Structure 1
Amino acid sequence: MDATLERMPALFLSHGAPPLADDPVWPGQLAAWAAALPRPTAILMVSAHWEEAPLALGATDTVPLVHDFWGFPEHYYRVRYPAPGAPGLAASVRALLQAPGMPVRDVPGRGLDHGAYVPLVEMFPDARLPVLQISLPTLEPRRLMDIGRRLAPLRDEGVLIVGSGFFTHNLAALRHADAGVPGWSAEFDDWGHRALLGRDVDALLDFEHAAPAGRLAHPRTEHFAPLFVTLGAADAAGDLDGGRSVIDGFWMGLAKRSVQFG
């Protein structure tokens, strides 16, 4: 399938840990989602696992992946995803983002981390699409929405903007919970789903106070933060009314809700 220059959707996905590949359901959901999308010209990833300020651009040539996890079986560290670099996309991102008070720097040796490559392996397994990852320069939701708005024109160039996080994420609380879905995870997921359906961006921005168990679902903001980049890219294009959940349910007690705008 050839790449397209039609406006691409903006996505937020819950990315999973490396064992996602062994789940009986989730990889197929991601693959089906990708198959239903227009073919992108390139992919711009914002992952919960790269926080760096000022905003940084990852490698624009193919470099080894960042296996940024510990204690897993050896075969998870042998995964490869040799996607082409995206120097042209990097130049476009610099042009859109670089401004007084918003510097952009290059980190040419920084490969894709597991928040980027784990879902991409399932969605685009041929690794033929150029991929660029950028860092989260802040965890402040309103500033991240502004970054998303600035990046929105890329969608008209066929670029798929993907915020990769997790709709709920508290591993410490899971270790002390019974089997099944903890109440805080289910309650936050339901609240977040309703906020997205109602286009209640103000509530989402203030999730720490507006959501039930907001700080239990996200003791740090980093796994929810990529959603705000996606929301900004959708808002700038007038797509917030067209948002929908593509994947829902839970994985090891965490909400894997993933959404598409446009």
Structure 2
Amino acid sequence: MQATGERMPALYLSHGAPPLADDELWPAELAAWSAALPRPTAILMVSAHWEEAPLALGSTTRVPLVYDFWGFPEHYYTVRYDAPGAPALADRVRRTLRGAGTPVQDIPDRGLDHGAYVPLVEMYPEADIPVLQISLPTLDPERLMETGRKLAPLRDEGVLIVGSGFFTHNLAALRHAGSGPPAWSAEFDAWGREALAAGDVDALLDFERKSPAGRLAHPRTEHFAPLFVTLGAAAGDLDRQRTAVEGFWMGLAKRSVQFG
């Protein structure tokens, strides 16, 4: 892989369900975000929707997308994203992680899930950048940060590392009858904004105890977990961050951040 000569940032984004692509604001926000980034040589995606241990590498060839959702209108199941695979990046990830003592497996028929392709359709609609998706091997924040640290050198080779989750994720929000987001979603989002701005990684790692309504914001932590891969990959850039997307969709916080 050829380096761009420019270190890529590390991203955490809130990807939403497939209908978020029909939102009035979100697609344009993602498009503007990607337009302001250097062009990556490849994209490494870590999605909340793929948990597999040991850490798994997805397909490095074009295979069908994973439509990992149910009960939506038919047109959401006909979306295509035919980005090229990233075999060179897969080889670098294997060597990097195995060299650091981390077991790695290959699942060559595993396509991109909606946590990967839904935002990529908006950010890189030409589908002309190689993409590799890897699994969440654990939900333990410390271990995920360590994985991110091991992957951080890829940023110097032009790889855009993206953790894709949702800053708050409790589908009870969909039943919320108030005029604004549920209090627990707004409180957690405000706390998370301040913790990120302060670079308070210790608080973020212990978010279930240190945040307001942490267990309501994330009854299960898979949608917050990709943030820790991003934080690990941020490697020295925690003080160089910006919020690319904020606000709420169906009561859930869309907060998305860039480091570096």
TM-score range, shorter chain: over 0.9
1:10-36 residue CA offsets vs partner (Å, 9 max, x unmatched): 000000111112111110000000000
Q: Secondary structure at the match of 2:63?
A: coil
Aligned 8 A contact 1:84 1:127 in 2: yes
Corresponding residue for 1:247? 245
Structure 2: distance between partners of 1:83 and 1:215: 36
Q: Which runs of 5+ in 2 are unaligned?
A: none
Structure 2: distance between partners of 1:194 and 1:173: 22
Q: Secondary structure at the match of 2:239?
A: helix
Amino acid aligned to 2:125: P
TM-score by length of 1: 0.96
| Deviating more after overlay: 189-198 vs 168-177 | 168-177
Corresponding residue for 2:233? 233
Structure 2: distance between partners of 1:43 and 1:5: 16
Q: Secondary structure at the match of 1:83?
A: coil
| Deviating more after overlay: 179-188 vs 206-215 | 179-188
Aligned 8 A contact 2:173 2:251 in 1: no
Structure 1 residue 180: Cα displacement:
2.8
Structure 1 residue 89: Cα displacement:
0.1
**Percent identity between the aligned chains?**
79
Structure 1: distance between partners of 2:48 and 2:205: 17
1:92-132 residue CA offsets vs partner (Å, 9 max, x unmatched): 00111115762100000000000000000000000000000
Amino acid aligned to 1:214: G
Amino acid aligned to 1:115: G
1:28-72 residue CA offsets vs partner (Å, 9 max, x unmatched): 000000000000000000000000000000001111100000000
Corresponding residue for 1:186? 186
Equivalent pairs counted in the alignment come to: 259
Structure 2: distance between partners of 1:13 and 1:56: 21
Show structure 1 runs of 4+ deviating over 3 A. Answer: 176-179
How has the CA–CA distance of structure 1 residues 252 and 173 changed in structure 2, closer, same or farther, with 3 Å as cutoff? closer
Structure 1: distance between partners of 2:5 and 2:69: 36
Structure 1: distance between partners of 2:164 and 2:248: 16
Structure 2: distance between partners of 1:67 and 1:5: 36
Corresponding residue for 1:62? 62
Q: Secondary structure at the match of 2:61?
A: coil
Corresponding residue for 1:110? 110
Q: Which runs of 5+ in 1 are unaligned?
A: none
Structure 1 residue 177: Cα displacement:
4.7
Structure 2: distance between partners of 1:74 and 1:149: 40
Aligned 8 A contact 1:180 1:252 in 2: no
Structure 1 residues 92-171: aligned runs within 5 Å = 92-99=92-99, 102-171=102-171
Structure 2: distance between partners of 1:211 and 1:7: 32
Structure 1 residue 175: Cα displacement:
2.5
